[in-house]
Amino acid sequence: MDTTAKIMKSEPTISILILSYNRAKYIAEAIDSVLTQTYRNFELVIIDDGSTDQTAEILSQYIDPRIKKIMHTTNAGLHARRAESLTYATGTYTAVLDSDDVWTDSDKLAQQVACMEAHPDCAVVGTFITLCSPAGETIGRNSYCTDDQRIRSAILSRNQFTHSSVLMRTSLLQKVPGYRDTGLAEDLDLFLQLGLVGTFANLPHYMTAYRIHTESFNPQKQAMARAVLGIIQTHRHHYPHYYRAYVKARLRLMYLSVRALINRK
C-alpha cells in the first residue's frame, strides 16, 4: 500500500453531497472545487433531479472513482432530493455543496476535519462566505459568529451557516429527523435540529463562494420569509432570544408583503 493510500485509510471519510437540477452552467466549477481539496479521503455523491440541459454530458467527463452519480429521469423537487441525499452519507462526516456554489479554499475540508476531530461534540462547522454574481464576480462577503455560545444566541435571528459551507458529523445527523418539508429554509431547520445533539462552530475564513442569482424582489422571498418564521416558532423553546427573532421575521414578512402589493400595481 502506498503512502497516500495509507494516509487516506487512516483519515475519516467525508461524504460530499451535491444536488443538481439544470445547473450545467455551474456544476463543473463546483465539482472541480471538490477535486482540488487537499483532503483526499472523500466520496462525492452527485444527485441529479432529472435535468433537461447538458448536465449529464458534463458529468460523464468525470471518471474519478470517488464520484458516485445518481441520475434521476424525473424531477421530484428540492425537498425530496435533499431528504434522499442524506441516505447516501456513509462517511464519518457529511459535507454539502450546492451545484452553483464553489469551495474557494483548497484546505477547507482539511481545516474543518481538524476542528471536528479536536471537538468530538461538534455537530456542525461552517465557514465565512464570499457572495458572487451569476458570472462569478465578487459582490460581497458574509461573516458569522464562530463559537457555540454566540452562534446559539444569534441563529434564530439570522442563520449562522451557509448550506454549502458546512461539514456535519454523520453520527449526529442520524439522531435527528433530517431535512423536513418546511417549504424553504430546510437547511436552517436541520442546523437547529443538530444543535440539540451537538455544538456549533464556524471557521473565521472565507472558504466558500455563494452565488446570488437575483437581487430584485420575487415571490420566493416571501415564501422564504414565511418558512423562516415557521422554523423560528418550531424551535422557540430550544434557543435564546425567540421574541427578538420572531419580531424581526414578522417585520420582514410585512415588508415583503407591502413590496408585493406595490409590484402588482
- Which of 35, 44, 36, 41 has the alpha carbon at shortest distance from 13? 41
- Which of 47, 59, 43 has the alpha carbon at shortest distance from 20? 47
183-193 confidence digits (pLDDT tens)? 899 999 999 99
| Alpha carbon distances (Å) from 52 to 5, 72, 206, 223 | 38, 11, 33, 26
DSSP annotation of 179 reads S
78-136 confidence digits (pLDDT tens)? 889 999 999 999 999 999 999 999 999 999 999 999 999 999 999 999 999 999 999 99
Q: Can you give the pLDDT at residue 3?
A: 45
DSSP annotation of 39 reads -
| Distance from C-alpha of 263 to C-alpha of 37, rounded to nearest angstrom | 45
- Which of 70, 265, 59, 241 has the alpha carbon at shortest distance from 160? 241
> How is residue 205 written as a grid cell?
475564513
DSSP annotation of 137 reads -
Q: Can you give the pLDDT at residue 215?
A: 55
| Distance from C-alpha of 86 to C-alpha of 200, rounded to nearest angstrom | 20
Q: How confident is the model at residue 1 (pLDDT cuts 50, 70, 90)?
A: very low
> Which residue reads 435564546 in cell numbers?
240
- Which of 47, 85, 176 has the alpha carbon at shortest distance from 124? 176
- Which of 215, 225, 214, 217 has the alpha carbon at shortest distance from 259? 217
